[in-house]
Amino acid sequence: MSGKSLASERRFSSVLIANRGEIAARVKRACLEMGLTPVPIASQADAAEAPSLAEGGPLCIGPSTASKSYLNQAAVILAARVSGAGAVHPGYGFLSENADFAAALEKAGLVFIGPPASAIRIMGDKIAAKRAMLAAGVPCVPGPGEPLPDDVGVIAALAEEIGYPVIIKAAGGGGGRGMRVVRSSAEIAEAVSLTREEARRAFGKPELYMEKFLEKPRHVEFQVLCDEHGNAVWVGHRDCSLQRRHQKVVEEAPAPGIDPALAAATGERCAEACRQIGYRGVGTFEFLYENGAFFFIEMNTRLQVEHPVTEETAGVDLVHEQLKVAQGEAIDIAAFSGTASGHAFECRINAEDPESFAASPGRITLARFPEGPGIRVDTHVYDGYRVPAYYDSLIAKLIVHAPTREEAITLMRKALAETRIEGISTNLPLHVKIFNDPDFVAGAVTIHHLEKRLKEGFPAHA
Ligand code: ADP
């Protein structure tokens, strides 16, 4: 059987973890649980905080700057070779959605724990992704899955056809950059030329596309899991509407108030899209949800920061599943046919000032996290840990799971009250305000809600 021979070729016993922070700790634990040897790596800044190599600490792969360490493909591949690792887990961020890196690993005889390079490439180009989604019957934001022509007259006619407001987006855009909202025909020529210039400079790709700008959407996303034997399942949905500058702050599963039949139909279309592009591993389809309808915006071809809320409600370990399918195993489809059980929230705890949001690196003098039924903390920090200034400010994820949304909110309030981090500033006070905000507590706020509260202030609470 070809499946068997493929599986035996892909077997590995040790996994290089090409990441840092909480996700490196999370992947390391999953490897140990599955009898695999984790191989941690670190930049100089992170290595300074870790045990030495002789004491089982990480392999230092380069200077503190990410471009010279965690983003240095040659250094990561060399570390895998030197350590004898058979596979590389990229975590999220860094090289996790880099098709060239996935291809380079395969070429070096290493297993990339993620989808094939070809699937990353399609989804990394937003126009190609939209076209693939339209072909699979996934509902998309109104607007063609085609690049904009040069002729401004043709572009203006297209905008009239879609109906203002429209949004112009760079095919290679990411991180909330490379997009511009246009509200009238008078603005269109300038918006196109500015966005094209930005796209060329920031992403090296001048292609733009246009779609309807939705005014009051929620961000709702679907988790998928696929193997190389043609099995693809969707594993629940999450609401990640609470965002600041397009960065998620709080996530929950399931997304509240979604019609189960619509969710099932949309989730199944996502799974079908995965079958069509030969997807493997975990992935997330991000949608805007407005007036009872879903509109695809992009796919993330990796594990998400917010994966724990799905794990808690679906009763699955997504990193275990990643490790299994990377070795050629088939998914146990029957295990994913159940619906979500209970409700989960995740608070992203960042080392930052809760008012100005300026990064707050430095020594954590005390770190106390809550414990107890329904509480999970994913973190790499401890008393005396020094948060380096070089990377993302995420220091911990506080996750709660309870039978109902109301109980989960009560549990999160308690968990937040029991969390103490001293020596640096964190956004814990912001999370306390969010979990006492009546609109958030009622559920189903839009992607603009948090920014509005930050501008206008939170209602006072007892
Ligand atoms: P990125 O890859 O930069 O994260 P996305 O395509 O996921 O870009 O869009 C980021 C954010 O921009 C979305 O979460 C949403 O807030 C906003 N956005 C994108 N497309 C639209 C749209 N058609 N209508 C309204 N808001 C949008």
Inter-CA distances, 344 with 295, 339, 347, 378, 398, Å? 24, 14, 10, 14, 10
**Domain boundary, last residue among 76, 97, 113:** 113
* Same domain for 265 and 366: yes
What is the reported pLDDT for 9?
64
- The H or E element spanning position 313 is helix 307-314
Ligand 1 close to Cβ of residue 230 (< 6 A): no
pLDDT band at residue 2 using 50, 70 and 90 as cut-offs: very low
Ligand 1 close to Cβ of residue 175 (< 6 A): yes
Residue with tokens 């794990």: 311
Ligand 1 close to Cβ of residue 213 (< 6 A): yes
- State which residues form the domain around 181: 142-212
Within its chain, how far is the Cα of 403 from the centroid?
25
Read off the pLDDT of residues 368-394 as tens digits, 9 standing for 90 and up: 999 999 999 999 999 999 999 999 999
Question: What gap in Å lies between CA 48 and CA 240, rounded to an integer?
Answer: 34
What is the Cβ-side half-sphere exposure of residue 445, based on CA atoms within 13 angstroms? Answer: 22
Residue 323 is assigned to a structural domain of this protein: yes
Read off the pLDDT of residues 112-149 as tens digits, 9 standing for 90 and up: 999 999 999 999 999 999 999 999 999 999 999 999 99
Read off the pLDDT of residues 297-336 as tens digits, 9 standing for 90 and up: 999 999 999 999 999 999 999 999 999 999 999 999 888 8
Residue 126 is assigned to a structural domain of this protein: no
What is the reported pLDDT for 335?
84
3-state secondary structure of 364: coil
297 C-alpha to ligand 1 centroid (Å): 7
What is the reported pLDDT for 3?
44
Inter-CA distances, 228 with 47, 272, 286, 304, 329, Å? 36, 14, 23, 21, 8
Residue 27 is assigned to a structural domain of this protein: yes
* Same domain for 177 and 77: no
Find the CATH number of the domain harbouring 69: 3.40.50.20
Nearest to 399 by CA among 348, 450, 341: 348
- Residue among 302, 376, 405, 453 flagged as catalytic: 302
What is the Cβ-side half-sphere exposure of residue 3, based on CA atoms within 13 angstroms? Answer: 9
3-state secondary structure of 224: strand
Which mutation among 241, 297, 302, 305 tests ligand 1's pocket best, with the greatest number of atoms within 8 A of CB?
297
Find the CATH number of the domain harbouring 198: 3.30.1490.20
* Same domain for 223 and 206: no
Listed range (102-116, 172-186, 205-219) with the worst mean pLDDT = 172-186
Q: Which amino acid is residue 369, in one-letter code?
A: F
* Same domain for 207 and 229: no
Q: Which amino acid is residue 5, in one-letter code?
A: S
* Same domain for 239 and 197: no
Residue 130 is assigned to a structural domain of this protein: no
Q: In this model, does residue 8 exceed pLDDT 80?
A: no
8 Å CB contact between 208 and 169:
yes
What is the reported pLDDT for 4?
46
pLDDT band at residue 99 using 50, 70 and 90 as cut-offs: very high
Question: What gap in Å lies between CA 458 and CA 456, rounded to an integer?
Answer: 7
Residue 280 bears catalytic tag: no
pLDDT band at residue 288 using 50, 70 and 90 as cut-offs: very high
Look at ligand 1, atom 20, and give the residue with the nearest C-alpha.
Answer: 297
The ligand 1 atom nearest the CA atom of 297: 6
Ligand 1 close to Cβ of residue 215 (< 6 A): no
- The H or E element spanning position 321 is helix 318-326
401 C-alpha to ligand 1 centroid (Å): 28
The ligand 1 atom nearest the CA atom of 212: 23
The ligand 1 atom nearest the CA atom of 143: 23
* Same domain for 227 and 89: no
Q: Which amino acid is residue 371, in one-letter code?
A: E
Q: In this model, does residue 7 exceed pLDDT 60?
A: no
* Same domain for 319 and 376: yes
Residue 120 is assigned to a structural domain of this protein: no
Look at ligand 1, atom 22, and give the residue with the nearest C-alpha.
Answer: 213
* Same domain for 222 and 201: no
DSSP 213: P
